[in-house]
Amino acid sequence: MKYPRKQIRLKGGYTTNILYECDEFLLAEKPVGLPVHETKDPNRMDFTRLLGNHLGLPELRTANRLDLGTSGIVLLGKSSLHNKEIDSLLDGAEKEYIFLCHGIPNWKEKRFECFLKDGNKEVKVVRSGGKKAITEFKMISEFQNLNLSFGVAKILTGRRHQIRVMLRELGFPILGDPVYWITEPKKKEPRMFLHSFRFCFTDLQGEKQWVETEIPEEFNLRVGKSIPFANKTE
């Protein structure tokens, strides 16, 4: 079930959409380039505090995290009273991301499993000592003239940089990724082209729900056309 979006303009010129809201939590769309939560610099703006201040929710808490360069759906709890239930909701949710990547694979669908180990700035694929990560990839469109592909990734585990590391490992790094490129980019991209697009979950009353965003306009501008992508059917 989809809900009407409620657009909010935050301090600093950022815009977000509230995609779903109930008494205990909400789902909102994080803008690209904004930290999802407070960093080591307390003066740096972050999405959770900006949204909490705007809505008058001082206890607003990020349940799932997105990288600085990733935009899209974030689950946020309104009060510490329901942290356990919201974390359980997140664990059972289905999360899908869309991306633009370098290259055109010779496959349309691929399930990728590996073990990932956190480093200081980079996550690496390892044979032992890491945590298992699983992602299902599906390529939707290819742009031969740009040597780019548009696809969707469904994550079955929630490891740090999971999609980014896996696509680099497969030989198709995400466009604009400042860390996991194979050959040094010839030009600076306007953003990293990874977006948390769809979130399917069971609410606290046991009902199945889902929300999704629009494809970010930067994606369409980068390939020079409106990217066709069928929405989820109810």
pLDDT tens track, the chain, 234 positions: 456 678 999 998 999 999 999 999 999 999 999 999 988 888 889 999 999 999 999 999 999 999 999 999 999 999 999 999 999 999 999 999 999 999 999 999 999 999 999 988 899 999 988 999 999 999 999 999 999 999 999 999 989 999 999 999 999 999 999 999 988 888 899 999 999 999 999 999 999 999 999 999 999 999 999 998 865 544
Fold of the domain built from segment(s) 94-200: Pseudouridine synthase (3.30.2350)
Architecture of the domain made up of 1-92: 2-Layer Sandwich (3.30)
Domains 1-92 and 94-200 share a fold: yes
Alpha helix segments (H runs only) across the chain: 47-55, 83-92, 162-170, 217-223
Domain ranges of the chain: 1-92, 94-200
pLDDT given at position 229: 82
CB 153 within 8 A of CB 141: no
**Strand pairing partners for 134?**
113
Which of 128, 100, 53 has the alpha carbon at shortest distance from 221? 100
pLDDT given at position 175: 98
pLDDT given at position 228: 85
Which of 169, 227, 171 has the alpha carbon at shortest distance from 195? 227
pLDDT given at position 4: 66
* C-alpha span between 3 and 221 (Å, rounded): 27
Which of 32, 80, 30 has the alpha carbon at shortest distance from 51? 30
* C-alpha span between 160 and 174 (Å, rounded): 15
* C-alpha span between 91 and 201 (Å, rounded): 9
For 111, counting Cβ atoms within 10 Å of its Cβ (0-12 exposed, 13-18 middle, 19+ buried), the class is exposed
pLDDT given at position 234: 45
